[in-house]
Amino acid sequence: MRSERPPGLSLRMQLTLSYTGFLMLAGAALFAVMLLVLRYVPNENLMIIENGGFAPRRTDLLEVALRFSAAGLIFLAVVGLVAGWVLAGRMLRPLEMITQAAQAASQGSLSHRIAMPGRDDELHRLADTFDQMLARLERAFEEQRRFTANASHELRTPQTVMKTMLQVARANPEAVDLHKLLPRLQEMNDRSIDTHEALLQLARAEREDLPRQPCDLAEVVQAVVGSESASVSVSLTAALVHANPPLLHQLVENLVRNAVVHNLPEDGRIWADVAVGPDGRARFTIANTGEPITADVAATLTEPFVRARGRVRSGGHNGSGLGLAIVASIARIHHADLTVAPRPDGGLMVTVIFPAVTGD
């Protein structure tokens, strides 16, 4: 949608006229200097003694100067217009490339890149910054598209399964085994509720205007680990963080729950550690045993609905696929660094480093 602005001169024309005006002004200044010099020339006929001729008077010189100055100013105007138009076009070519990229982006094409050649200058830095912005926008829209598709699938699948089971039961009620049907329906219903709640938690975790206060990270970890039936080896040091208490609890709970769910069913181990680094930043690390995964796969686990193939799931729990995505959102709004890396012996290690708490 174009803005309702009155038409005006293009930037190229403005630069051209400015360049031409500067040349004309410089020529006029030279002419003014010449007039000042001519003031010192006598206006009477002066005889030259050597050959008996006459030196030109001031009026004669002034007449010649006016004639040549007018021609010179016209020449400067023509040269200024032509040279200014060419130079302005060359100078504004990068800006035109940026404008074309912006117009393409406004129409939904985020894959276009300027990729401006040449040496570094202000316009090249602007083009590079614009390319980086387009790349980030393209990734964000792709993640949003993938999230929408995955969310639609995750929400629709349990409903579709329950609908099919009920249709089969209605078509042949005598053959229905309620002892098998009801637990299956309950499982599908629980899965749907879990997904809805996880989506609500994800939306809540992306809010940045929630109140925050000093919290002891070690106390939160101890409370969450104590509520789990699985055995967790802990090493806790008091560590103060400035956070929203419910979201901090949600972050720790999701990480602990993720470690429990994806732990080895037999002889599995979980380690939780809270410490304070030399820079005063609180660090929470949780690791578990499991099947080996690659670093590339581990880096994608914070995306919504991403589940790594080959990861074990204790107790047949599939999860919502949003646990680590919620953790990433909570860490981001708390300006914490989140690292998800595979353990050399198998399993996963997640580290969250919070900013140092400054004294009031």
Same domain, 270 and 150: no
Confidence of residue 153 (pLDDT cuts 50, 70, 90): low
pLDDT recorded at residue 43 = 66
Domain annotation covers residue 4: no
Same domain, 172 and 273: no
Domain annotation covers residue 119: no
Same domain, 179 and 217: no
Mean pLDDT of 104-115: 80
The four Cα atoms 26, 29, 31, 33 give a dihedral, to 10 degrees, of -140
22 to each of 16, 65, 89, how far by Cα in Å?
10, 21, 18
Q: Which residues contact 314 (CB under 8 A, 6 or more apart)?
A: 260, 261, 262, 263, 264, 265, 268
Rg (the chain; Cα; Å): 38
Same domain, 80 and 155: no
Q: Give the amino acid at 78.
A: V
Task: Please tell me which residue, 196 or 105, carries the higher pLDDT value.
Answer: 105
Domain annotation covers residue 118: no
Domain annotation covers residue 290: yes
Domain annotation covers residue 68: yes
Q: How far is CA 152 from the centre of its chain?
A: 25
pLDDT recorded at residue 287 = 95
**Pairing mode of beta strands 270-276, 233-236:** parallel
Domain annotation covers residue 150: yes
Residues β-bridged to residue 352: 284, 338
Phi, psi values for residue 342, rounded to 5°: -75, 145
Q: Are 93 and 123 in contact (CB under 8 A)?
A: no
Total domain count for the chain? 3
Q: Are 320 and 198 in contact (CB under 8 A)?
A: yes
Q: Is the pLDDT of residue 343 over 50?
A: yes
Return the minimum-mean-pLDDT range out of 249-258, 309-318, 329-338. Answer: 309-318
Same domain, 35 and 97: yes
pLDDT recorded at residue 312 = 44
Helices 122-171 and 58-106, packing angle to 10 deg = 20
Mean pLDDT of 12-36: 84
Confidence of residue 227 (pLDDT cuts 50, 70, 90): confident
Q: Which residues contact 98 (CB under 8 A, 6 or more apart)?
A: 114, 123, 126, 127, 130
Domain annotation covers residue 192: yes
Domain end among 205, 229, 257: 205
Same domain, 292 and 229: yes
Q: HSE of 176 in the Cβ direction (CA atoms, 13 Å)?
A: 16
Tell me, what CATH number does 183's domain have? 1.10.287.130
Distance CA 346, CA 349 (A): 10
Same domain, 105 and 170: no
Distance CA 238, CA 221 (A): 11
Structure tokens at 304: 């919504």
Mean pLDDT of 119-139: 84
The percentage of the chain sitting over the pLDDT mark of 70, rounded to a whole number, equals 82
Condensed to tens digits (0 to 9), the pLDDT of residues 296-328 reads 888 888 887 766 554 444 444 455 667 788 888
Confidence of residue 55 (pLDDT cuts 50, 70, 90): low
Q: Is the pLDDT of residue 53 over 70?
A: no
Confidence of residue 360 (pLDDT cuts 50, 70, 90): low
The range of the structural domain enclosing residue 191 comes to 132-205
Same domain, 331 and 300: yes
Q: Give the amino acid at 107.
A: Q
Domain end among 77, 109, 141: 109
Domain end among 170, 205, 240: 205
Domain annotation covers residue 309: yes
Confidence of residue 286 (pLDDT cuts 50, 70, 90): very high
Same domain, 171 and 299: no
Whose CA is closest to 301, among 264, 326, 272, 332?
326
